[in-house]
Amino acid sequence: MRALLAGTALTLLMGAPTALAIDVSSDADLRAAIEIARTTPNTTINLLNSITLTSELPALQGTGTVINGNGNTLNGNNQFRGLLVYSGSVQVGNLIIASAAARGGFGAPFAGGGAGGLRAALDGLGRRLRRLQQDQWRSGRRRLA
């Protein structure tokens, strides 16, 4: 019981973890803020204006990260994804993500990639089914529907 009370007193003296707020107004500012949020829990990123990306943003990996869009737009420039949350907890609010390009990851080696590799996987499956149908046709067996 004493240990519990001592821990409570220590928490009251130290207070809650201090949150860090970062205002961003450019692509470079946003990248820097995301990097800081990776290692600083409870970081809040405030967009002060709309931002057009010039390359992929780093993945979000922070704990308790909050992104306040303030009604602004994160524009992917028809080439880049908006945000990628790799791990941790992230809250995004009042942000418009426009003209973003969603692509899958690389996936496991020789597995056809992430969601972006889905077409290659389906193409390969279609070729295998056609070969199976041809083999069954040649052998006189019933053809697959």
Residue-by-residue pLDDT tens, the chain, 145 positions: 444 444 434 444 444 456 899 999 999 999 999 999 999 999 999 999 999 999 999 999 988 999 999 999 999 999 998 898 988 899 999 999 999 987 655 555 555 445 555 555 555 666 667 777 777 667 666 544 4
Tokens standing for residue 83: 């945000």
Compute CA distances 2 → 14, 16, 22, 132, whole Å: 18, 21, 40, 73
pTM beyond 0.85: no
Q: How many CA atoms lie within 13 A of 99 on its CB side?
A: 12
Tokens representing 73 are 């737009």
